[in-house]
Amino acid sequence: MSNTSNSYQSQNTKSAIRAYLGGSFDPVHNGHLQMAMYVYEHLLPIAKQQQRLLYVSLLPNARSPFKEDSTNPKHRLAMLKLATQDSPLYINELELWQAPPVYTIDSVQILRARYPNDSLIFIMGMDSARSLEHWKNGLQLTDYVSLWVFDREENFDSDIDTDIYTDKNFFKNELQHSLTSQLPKLLKPFIVDSVLQLLAANPQSLTNSFGVKNSHQGYIFIDPRAVAAVSSTQVRQQLYQQLPQAPQSLNITHSADMQIASIAPINDIIANTAPNSLAKWLNPAVYQYIIAHQLYSAAQFR
């Protein structure tokens, strides 16, 4: 099964459930995959019960105009394919080849127009959700899609003294309240208690602030489960520190040979015995691709 999907919905197809995790994926790491798989595993029994198709996709964005060292989209796509090849996840290239800047609000409008009868969900971390008011029309995302928000903070429960709680439900409610308080005020009325409510669009006859007729009201589900608190920036920094930096006088081929000879053996990465944290963060095939193509090293930026 191909894991790259840009297909349009047939008019005769029963409405599907489509969830998207956007990002630069520079590089894709296990924190991304963990969030996407959480969503897939939770939605799969619901989709089967409702006899609906399910697509959970990674949505890589265009190269950022603000990052001179942003990795070429062809490499980011190749790494995504390697990371998802043995999974049920898809890759959607909607944003990848567009000229930047590409805004999420434009993408959700396109997806809503493309799949008017489907349940559309955008997956994001609380770090992104709390800053939506600073995105281009970020508070209008729920005019088109529902949001599934994860907390990715390393100490997501640091403000709650867990020792004084013996009731797990009470602790869960306190955590949920703590996370909810971080959302922009205008989005709080759309918070719901269950994933099922994300799949039930609220029909409305309205024309939104962009002049686009829309019959969907999205909701927001805050998932309190802890996910890997790692960023692509941290992975890049770790790679840069660990990959040997060849002197300027060496050619690219010699530089690559030095890197491959010096990295932790790929079998150690697979067995999770390498003496670094990259084994926890990267799919082994992605790690190998990074080495083979000299990504995130001094050679890349000469």
- Residue 10: per-residue pLDDT: 46
- Residue 231: per-residue pLDDT: 84
Alpha helices in 70-180 (DSSP H): 73-84, 104-114, 126-129, 168-180
- End-to-end distance of the chain based on CA atoms, in angstroms? 38
Please report, to the nearest 10 degrees, the dihedral formed by the alpha carbons of residues 87, 61, 283, 90 taken in order. 10
The label of the residue with tokens 């998207």 reads 20
Secondary structure tally for the chain: helices H, strands E: 10, 9
Alpha helices in 89-246 (DSSP H): 104-114, 126-129, 168-180, 232-242
- Residue 280: per-residue pLDDT: 79
- Residue 301: per-residue pLDDT: 42
- Residue 172: per-residue pLDDT: 55
- Residue 227: per-residue pLDDT: 81
What SS3 state is found at 19? strand
283 CB contacts (<8 Å, ≥6 apart)?
A: 28, 30, 33, 82, 83
Alpha helices in the chain (DSSP H): 30-50, 73-84, 104-114, 126-129, 168-180, 232-242, 252-262, 266-270, 278-281, 284-292
- Cα separation, 46 vs 19, in Å, equals 13
* One pLDDT digit (tens) per residue for the chain, 302 residues: 446 665 544 444 679 999 999 999 999 999 999 999 999 999 999 999 999 999 999 999 987 555 666 799 999 999 999 999 999 999 999 999 998 888 999 999 999 999 999 999 999 999 899 999 999 999 999 999 999 999 876 443 434 343 433 455 544 566 566 778 889 999 999 999 999 999 985 544 344 444 445 557 899 999 988 787 788 888 888 887 765 554 443 344 444 444 444 444 444 444 545 445 677 789 999 999 998 998 987 445 43
Both structure tokens of 288: 């190998």
- Cα separation, 257 vs 265, in Å, equals 14
